[in-house]
Structure 1
C-alpha cells in the first residue's frame, strides 16, 4: 500500500515538472559590446502551448538605469507541431550614452498568470577612443564626400528629357493647327469617261477574246454582245436602250439614222432573240458575222469628232470648313499635352535638384 502511494506521488511530481517545462522563456542579445550611441537588439522568446496566454514585460523608456529603449517591435507569433505549440518573439532595441558594464536582469513573462523568467544578460558600453598623447590636437570638420557617378540615377531624368521633346513638338503642331483657321482644301483627280464608241469597242474586244461561243455558250455570248450594243446606243443616242425590246430600239433608231447601218443591227438582234428565246443554235460563221455587224454599226454611227479624242483627266477642288469637333479635339489635345509637359518639367527639375543639391 505504501509502495503504490509512493508511485502515485512520484507520477504527480513528474507531471507537474513536465507541465512546468512546457513554457520556456529565453532572452538573447545580438552584441555584448557597443560604443556610446550604438544600438543593440534584445530578443525575448517564449515557447508555450497554443491555448495559453502570455503577457510580456512592459517598459517605459529604460531597461535599467543607463540603458535606454529606442524601439519595441511588434510580437512575432509562429505556430508549431500542428498548431499545438506557439512561439512568440519580442524584440527590443536599446542604446546607452554612458560607458559602463551594465547588468540586464531577467525579463519576466506572465503565462496564464504564472511568471517565468529569462536568464540575465550583460552589456558593455565603451566610450570613443581618445588620443591621450595629443590631447590638444583637434581635427576640423571633414568635407562632404561626393557620391560616385551611377547611371541608374540618371535613367529617369534622361527618359523624361527625351519624352519632353516629342510632346513639345506635338503641342506646337496643335497650336499652329488651331491658329490656322483656314478651310481645308482638297484636290480630287477624276478620271474621264471614255467616249461611247471607245467603251463599246473595248467591251466587244473582250467578248471576242473570250470566244465563249466556241464553248457551247451561245446564249451567254449573244447576251453580252447585245448588252454592249444597248449600252452604246444609250450613251450615243441618249435613250435608255437597256430597258427596251429589240424592235423598239430599231424603231427608235430609224427615226434618227440611216437604214443601212440599222439593217446590220436588226440582223444581230433577230439572231440574238432566236438564241435566247427559241434555243436556236447558230453556226460558227453566223456568230462571226454578227460580231462584225456589231463593229460596223458602232463605226458607222459614232461621232466623227470623237475619233481621235483623248479624254484628259479633270481635277476637282473641294473646299471644306473645319468642323467644331476638330476644334474641340485640338483644344483637348493642347490641354493634355500642356499638363504632361508641365509635369515632365517639374519632375526633371526635382531630379536635378536631388542630384546636385
Structure 2
C-alpha cells in the first residue's frame, strides 16, 4: 500500500515538472508582433510613420513583410528604414523594429490591414490600424477670391556674403604686383650688385704681438708640446719679417733668415733672436727638451725683437674700411627661374579671378 502511494506521488511530481518545462519552452519561443502609427490624422501630402516591432527567440528566423510602393490603395510608402535589432535577456531574445514612412493624396478614412511576418515559416500578424486623411480647407464663401504671388523682397548683403570675394580680390592684386615686379626684373636683366666691405688690416707688429699673446696664454702647448710651441712661435716671426722687411722668410731656413737680418740689422740686435732660432731647430730636429724658463725667455726675446724693429703707423691717419663693388650678370638658370615663377603666379591669378567672378555672379544674379 505504501509502495502504491509512493508511485502515485512520484507520477504527480513528474507531471508537474513536464508542465513547467513545456510552459518555459513555450514562453521562450513566444513571438509577439505589434504595429503602431505616430499620427492618426493627416492633411493631404503630409507624412506619417508606421512602426512594426517583432519580439522573438534569438535562434528563430524572421522574414519581414515584402512591401513596396503602397500599404493599401491610396496610401503610398515613401521610405522603408533599415531594420533595427536589439538583443534582450543576455542575448536569448531579439527585438526587431521596422519603420515605414507613408503619405496619402486622397482624403478618406483608410483601414490599414495587419502586417504579417514569418517566424520559422509560421505567420504572425500585428493589429490593424486606421488613418484619416483630410483635404486642405477651402474658403467656400469666397470661391473667386485668390491671393497673387508675393513681391520679391530685396535681401541685404552682409559682410559674410562678400568677405570671400574681398579677400580673393586683395590676394589677386598682391599676386599681380609680384608678377609685375618679377617681369620687370626679367625684362631689364640688370646685373646683381654685391658690395663687399673689407676691414683695414692691422700693422705687421700688432698682428704678430696678438699671435704671440695667444701662444703665451696656451700653457698646455708650452708645457707638453715644445715642438708645436716653437713651430708656432717661429712662424709668427717669419710672417712678421716677410711683411716688415720684404723677404720671403717663410721659405727660408733659420740660418738663411739670420744671414738676411745681419745685412739689415746690427748683430747685437739679433743676438737673442739667433738663440731663439737655434733652440727651435734643436727642438724640431734633435728632439731637444728645453726648460720652462728657457721657453719663457725665448718668447720674451721674440717680443723684444718685434718691438725693436716695428714701424709705427701715422697716428693722424684714420684707416677706412675698403668697399669693393662686384657686378654679376644674372645666369641663364636664374632667368629660367624668374620666368617659371611668373608663369605660376599668372596661373594663380587666373584661378583667383575665376573664383571672384563666380562669387559675384552667385551673389548678384
TM-score range, shorter chain: 0.7 to 0.9
Cα 1:184–1:42 change in 2 (3 A) is same
Which residue number in structure 1 is paired with residue 194 of structure 2? 186
SS at match of 2:293: coil
Question: For 1:317-336, what aligned pairs fall within 5 Å after superposition?
Answer: 317-324=326-333, 326-336=334-344
Question: For 1:16-35, what aligned pairs fall within 5 Å after superposition?
Answer: 17-18=26-27, 21=30, 23-35=31-43
Which residue number in structure 2 is paired with residue 279 of structure 1? 291
User: 1: distance between equivalents of 2:318 and 2:14?
Assistant: 139
User: 2: distance between equivalents of 1:265 and 1:236?
Assistant: 15
Which residue number in structure 1 is paired with residue 274 of structure 2? 269
Which residue number in structure 1 is paired with residue 117 of structure 2? 109
Please state if 1:338 is matched with 2:350.
no
How far does residue 139 in structure 1 lie from its aligned partner after superposition? 0.4
How far does residue 143 in structure 1 lie from its aligned partner after superposition? 3.1
SS at match of 1:142: coil
Match of 2:256 among 225, 243, 248: 248
Cα 1:336–1:34 change in 2 (3 A) is farther
Q: Which range moves more in the overlay, 75-84 or 90-99?
A: 75-84
How far does residue 311 in structure 1 lie from its aligned partner after superposition? 6.5
SS at match of 1:235: helix
Cα 1:323–1:189 change in 2 (3 A) is farther
User: 1: distance between equivalents of 2:363 and 2:71?
Assistant: 42
Match of 2:67 among 53, 56, 59: 59
Let me know the Cα RMSD of the aligned residues: 4.3
Cα 1:114–1:169 change in 2 (3 A) is farther
Q: What is the CA deviation profile of residues 272-309 of structure 1, one whole-angstrom value per residue up to 9, with x for unaligned ones?
A: 6448655383699998676444322234xx9x999969
User: 2: distance between equivalents of 1:126 and 1:49?
Assistant: 41
Q: What is the CA deviation profile of residues 47-66 of structure 1, one whole-angstrom value per residue up to 9, with x for unaligned ones?
A: 22333222222233221121
Gaps of 5+ in 1: none
Match of 1:129 among 130, 137, 155: 137
Which residue number in structure 2 is paired with residue 258 of structure 1? 264
Match of 2:309 among 276, 297, 302: 297
How far does residue 225 in structure 1 lie from its aligned partner after superposition? 6.2
Please state if 1:313 is matched with 2:342.
no
Q: Which range moves more in the overlay, 36-45 or 166-175?
A: 166-175
User: 1: distance between equivalents of 2:362 and 2:295?
Assistant: 99
Q: Which range moves more in the overlay, 225-234 or 126-135?
A: 225-234
Which residue number in structure 1 is paired with residue 174 of structure 2? 166
SS at match of 1:281: helix
Gaps of 5+ in 2: 1-7
What TM-score, normalized by structure 1, do the two folds share? 0.76
Please state if 1:47 is matched with 2:55.
yes
User: 1: distance between equivalents of 2:275 and 2:316?
Assistant: 29
Q: Given that residues 193 and 325 in structure 2 are in contact (C-alpha distance below 8 angstroms), is that contact kept between their aligned partners in structure 1?
A: no
How far does residue 316 in structure 1 lie from its aligned partner after superposition? 3.6
How far does residue 16 in structure 1 lie from its aligned partner after superposition? 6.7
Cα 1:286–1:347 change in 2 (3 A) is closer
Q: Which range moves more in the overlay, 155-164 or 315-324?
A: 155-164
Which residue number in structure 1 is paired with residue 3 of structure 2? none
Question: For 1:75-90, what aligned pairs fall within 5 Å after superposition?
Answer: 75-90=83-98
Q: Which range moves more in the overlay, 55-64 or 147-156?
A: 147-156
